[in-house]
Amino acid sequence: MTLILLGPPGAGKGTQSRRLSENLKIPQISTGDLLRAAREKRTPLGFQAESYMIAGKLVPDDLVIEMIRERLKEADCRGGYILDGFPRTVAQAQALDQTLAAGGAGSKIDRVVNIEVDREEVVKRLSGRRQCRKCGENFHLSFHPPRVEEVCDLCGGELFQRDDDLEGVIRRRLEVYENQTSPLIDYYGNKGILANVPGEGSIEEIFRKILKVVS
C-alpha cells in the first residue's frame, strides 16, 4: 500500500505515520527528517535547505523532489510506503505522479489522508515543543513537560526551542501551507483518493480514524 499524509504543521503527521508504518509494515518517508539530517550533516543540500527552514518557507521543489526520487529507489519501498510531508505543492504531486508512471516504487498512490487541525491549535502544539541538545529527546510544555524545567528527564541535558517552533515562524509556515499546500486537497480529491480525518482527540483516537479510511 502507498499512502500520503497531508495536514498543516503540527497536525501529527509524523506520529501517525510512524504508527501506520508499524501497523502496515511499510517504511515511513519523512521529508522533514531527511532535510534535518542533511542540515545536521552539513551537506550541500543541507546548506541550501537551512535558510528556507529557519524562515518558515518551503524548500524549493527541485531539491525535495530529487531527494524523494532517490529514496523511492531503495529496496524497502518495493512493498509500499508512507509519505509524510511530501508532496507539499501541486507541482511536487505532479512530479511524484511522473516518477511513479516512469517505474518508481509503487505504481500509484492508494490513499491520501488529510488530517484537519484548527490554526490556533497548531500554534499551541508547535510553540510548546522542546528538544534536548544532548540526546535529542522531545518534550512539550503542555502535553509532555520535563520533570525539571528546561532539563531533559533522560540525560540532564539542556532543552531548547527549535527556530522553526517560534510562534512567528509557525504562523508564517501556516500561511505558506494554506497558500501552497492546501490546493493538494483539491488535487487528490479530484482523483477520488482523498479522505479527511479530524485531527482532534487522543493519538489513539486519531489513529483509529485513519485506519478506517486506509483499510
Known catalytic membership, residue 129: yes
The catalytic position among 19, 125, 129, 130 is 129
The catalytic position among 19, 71, 130, 173 is 173
The catalytic position among 88, 125, 130, 209 is 88
| Cα–Cα distance for residue pair 101/76, rounded to 1 Å | 19
Known catalytic membership, residue 162: yes
* DSSP for 128-160, written as a single string: TEEEETTT--EEETTTB--SBTTB-TTT-PBEE
Within 10 Å of residue 199's Cβ, how many Cβ atoms?
A: 23
Known catalytic membership, residue 13: yes
The catalytic position among 39, 69, 124, 162 is 162
Known catalytic membership, residue 125: no
Known catalytic membership, residue 39: no
Q: What is the phi/psi pair of residue 157, to 5°?
A: -70, 165
The catalytic position among 13, 71, 125, 130 is 13
Cα 107 versus chain centre, distance: 22
Q: Could you give the strand order of the β-sheet that contains 28-30, starting from the edge strand earlier in sequence?
A: 28-30, 81-84, 2-6, 111-116, 194-198
What positions carry a catalytic annotation?
13, 88, 129, 162, 173
